[in-house]
Structure 1
Amino acid sequence: MSLDWIYYAISWILLRWHALWDSIGISEDRVLGTNWSWILAIVFLVVTLRVILFPVFVKQIKSQRAMQALQPKVKELQEKHKGDRETLQKEMMELYRTEKANPLMGCLPMFLQIPVFLGLFHVLRRLSPNNDLKTLYGWTEEQFRSAAEAALFTAPLPGQFGHSDSDLAQLGASNGVTVKIIAGVLVLIMMATTYLTSRQMILKTGWAEDPQQKMIQRLMLYGIPASLLISGALFPIGVVIYWVVNNLFSLAQQQWVLRKFPPPPMANAKTGSSARPASGAAGKSGAKNPVQPATRGLFGRKQAEPEPQSPVVDTKALAPKPGAKPVNPKKGARPASKPKG
């Protein structure tokens, strides 16, 4: 299947934003060694795609909430079919089908962005002065030349960390070491923001009880950022900029959605913890010293019930009255008072 339609779509969005910044007076000349019109075009390519994918992102959040609500039932199935993995998987699939929950929906936005990433990767890689197909995917020769010479702090946007000095020289880089430093720093930022994006969501929603879901969470949290350490050397600098901006956009978007629509309390509650009694319950009952039930303290340890307190003795009431006959302490019993009348 040809991916030309993706290359045309990515090129069209990128060129429209570049034309907009150029029309409002952002010069293509380098300022601080940077062609800001092309950098802003990449940034707003991210904004455009994230606005288009926002409904999918909302569905992702709803699916994650549905999966959280099913965690108690999932745990029951795990206890019921412990040791029988095949039956457990069948029962869980039936549960997801009945409750209309999709475990893979949480990864859907990432999957939808893969074609965009591949399209931008292909478009930027072809920006070489030696490429004769300059007008491919709707580009003009002037646009092709301008993008091929664009740079971030003197590092060419089509340049890669893994490029040789000769390859970087063909792209117009004056110092290959500077390009590698800039590319290396961007790759590290890409790894860090990818990790933080996954970590933010897991901290807010908690680790899944389903082994399959938990494996996906671990892959997204640790596996993908670690893989970028190697694959990032093959990405053009413009693609790394796209990835970093996309991660920063995701962090802000997730923070806003999670704050506006917080996860249900059960998502962060630990199994076996009991709710604390309301502070106003004792006051409503009218009892001065209600008996407190056993509660679980920090780390889930059961706290002992409070020991019964001895009654308070009024020493003034027991003191002998003035003029009264003293009582012999050696006698074992107190003399009974005579009945009146």
Structure 2
Amino acid sequence: MSLDWIYYAISWILLVWHRAWDAIGVPDGAVLGTNWAWILAIIFLVVTVRVILFPVFVKQIKSQRAMQALQPQVKALQEKHKGDRETLQREMMELYRKEKANPLMGCLPMFLQIPVFLGLFHVLRRLSPGNDLKTLYGWSVDQFQSASAAKLFTAPIAGKFGSTTEELALLGANGTTVKVMAGVLVLVMMGTTYLTSRQMILKTGWAEDPQQRMIQKLMLYGIPLSLLVSGAIFPIGVIIYWVTNNLFTLAQQQWVLRKFPPPPSVTAAKSGTSGARNPVQPAKTGGLFGRKAAPPAPTKPAAPKVAGPKPGAKPVNPKKGRPAKRQG
């Protein structure tokens, strides 16, 4: 299956944003060693894609909420079918189908962005003055030459950490500068990728379902570590896209999690407590139903006890024990 339609779409969005920033007056020439019109075109490619995928992101959050609500039933099935993995999987799939919850929905936005990432990777990899196909995917010769010369702090956006000497010579780039800039961006890419997964897990807690927990661990640790190796082949422009996308995700998740907070049971489970409050224990804000609790009634200090007469003893009149007044 040809992916040319993706390359044309990515190129079109990039060129539209580049023309927009050029029309606004953002200089196309290098300022501080950076061609800001092209850098902003890549950044707003992220904005365009994320706006298009926002409904999918909302569905992702709703699906995660549904999965969280099903955790008690999932745990009950695990206890019921302990040791019978086949029956457990069948029962869980039936539960998900009945409740219209999709375990894979949490990864859907990332999967939908993979074609965009691959398209940008392919387009930026072509940006070399030695490439004869300058007008491929709707580019003009001037646009191609301008993008080929675009830099971020003197490092070409088509350069990568693993660029060969020949590739660097065609780009007219300094190998040390490219490696330093690409290396820093790869570390930032790894860090922001880790933070996006950590942010979601801290808010929603670890899943009870082993498959879901495995996916969470893969997202939290596996993908960031894999970027340490794969990041060497990514052009700097692609890493800019990835870092911008991660920052956008962090802001978007923060907004959505504030607007649609996790269920109280999930928050309690995350902190290591039971989701249900003890019915005889008042809430933090007051009584059993959240009303302001009445202040405790003041207690009077206990009067000192006076030893009474022994059983069977004759009562003593305290007046008789006093000395009589002398008569004047």
Task: Report if TM-score (shorter chain) is over 0.5.
Answer: yes
Paired position in structure 1 for 2:306: 318
CA distance in 1, matches of 2:287, 2:86: 49
Amino acid at match of 2:16: R
Distance 1:82 1:253, change over 3 A: same
Paired position in structure 1 for 2:326: none
Aligned length: 305
Q: How far off is 1:166 after superposition?
A: 3.1
Q: How far off is 1:172 after superposition?
A: 1.7
CA distance in 2, matches of 1:334, 1:249: 90
Distance 1:82 1:32, change over 3 A: same
Paired position in structure 2 for 1:236: 235
Distance 1:96 1:24, change over 3 A: same
Alignment of structure 1 residues 137-286 onto 2, 5 Å: 137-173=137-173, 175-270=174-269, 273=274, 275-276=277-278, 277-278=281-282, 279-280=286-287
Gaps of 5+ in 1: 290-311, 321-326
Paired position in structure 2 for 1:47: 47
CA distance in 2, matches of 1:163, 1:285: 72
* Residue deviations 1:271-290 (CA, integer Å, cap 9, x gap): 7635251143699799969x
Instruction: Provide the secondary structure at the position in 2 that maps to 1:318.
Output: coil
Q: How far off is 1:84 after superposition?
A: 0.7
Distance 1:334 1:286, change over 3 A: farther
Instruction: Provide the secondary structure at the position in 2 that maps to 1:31.
Output: coil
Amino acid at match of 1:25: G
Distance 1:165 1:263, change over 3 A: same
Paired position in structure 1 for 2:323: none
Distance 1:284 1:165, change over 3 A: closer
1:102 correspondence with 2:102 = yes
Q: How far off is 1:313 after superposition?
A: 5.5
CA distance in 2, matches of 1:193, 1:284: 44
TM-score, normalised to structure 1, is: 0.84
Instruction: Provide the secondary structure at the position in 1 that maps to 2:268.
Output: coil
Alignment of structure 1 residues 12-161 onto 2, 5 Å: 12-161=12-161
CA distance in 1, matches of 2:185, 2:295: 65
CA distance in 1, matches of 2:202, 2:293: 37
Distance 1:283 1:229, change over 3 A: closer
Amino acid at match of 2:287: G
Amino acid at match of 2:166: S
CA distance in 2, matches of 1:93, 1:232: 36
CA distance in 2, matches of 1:257, 1:272: 24
Amino acid at match of 1:197: T
Q: How far off is 1:169 after superposition?
A: 2.0
Q: How far off is 1:267 after superposition?
A: 1.1
CA distance in 2, matches of 1:147, 1:218: 38
Amino acid at match of 2:134: K
Amino acid at match of 1:222: Y
Q: How far off is 1:164 after superposition?
A: 2.2
Instruction: Provide the secondary structure at the position in 2 that maps to 1:269.
Output: helix
Gaps of 5+ in 2: 317-328
What is the aligned-residue identity percentage?
Answer: 73
Q: How far off is 1:314 after superposition?
A: 2.3
Distance 1:119 1:283, change over 3 A: closer
Instruction: Provide the secondary structure at the position in 1 that maps to 2:41.
Output: helix
State the superposition RMSD in angstroms: 2.4
Amino acid at match of 2:252: Q
Amino acid at match of 2:63: S
* Residue deviations 1:6-42 (CA, integer Å, cap 9, x gap): 0000000000000011111111110110000000000
CA distance in 2, matches of 1:214, 1:267: 15
CA distance in 2, matches of 1:27, 1:313: 85
* Residue deviations 1:58-81 (CA, integer Å, cap 9, x gap): 000000000000000000000000
Superposition misfits of 4+ residues, deviation over 6 angstroms: 282-289
